[in-house]
Amino acid sequence: MNKELLLKTFRNATGAAVYIFLVSLVMRNGEKLFGQGDDNILMPFAILLLFSLSAAVVGWLIFGQSVTFFLEGKRKDGVSAAVYNIGWLAMYAILGLLTLFVLK
């Protein structure tokens, strides 16, 4: 097991989890931050733009290292990085669900 790769993937997955948390805070408090959504095109546009940006940011954080390894010909490290990142995200998801369960 490559400890340096494990640490990098932990950092990337933590960054993704923090980003997701911050976006969820903005979405939860959107009405307070931006006011009532009137019948105009800006609100759906902003939501879809945020969704697209989020997909790009999280995709880069989770799969960027794997793609880089694949392009460098390090296929085994690329697969390992993807598996480690997904594992760290799964850990954060389980911790979040357990927290919700305990706090209910």
Ranges of each domain in the chain: 3-103
Q: At what angle do helices 75-103 and 42-71 cross, to 10 degrees?
A: 140
Q: How far is the C-alpha of 8 from the C-alpha of 102, rounded, in Å? A: 30
Q: How far is the C-alpha of 12 from the C-alpha of 88, rounded, in Å? A: 9
SS3 content of the chain, % helix, strand, coil (to 5): 85, 0, 15
50 exposed, middle or buried (CB, 10 Å; 0-12, 13-18, 19+)?
middle
pTM attached to this predicted model: 0.84
Type of residue at 66: S
DSSP run (H or E) holding 39: none
The pLDDT tens digits of the residues spanning 61-102 come to: 999 999 999 999 999 999 999 999 999 999 999 999 999 999
pLDDT of residue 43: 81
The pLDDT tens digits of the residues spanning 15-48 come to: 999 999 999 998 888 778 777 766 778 888 888 9
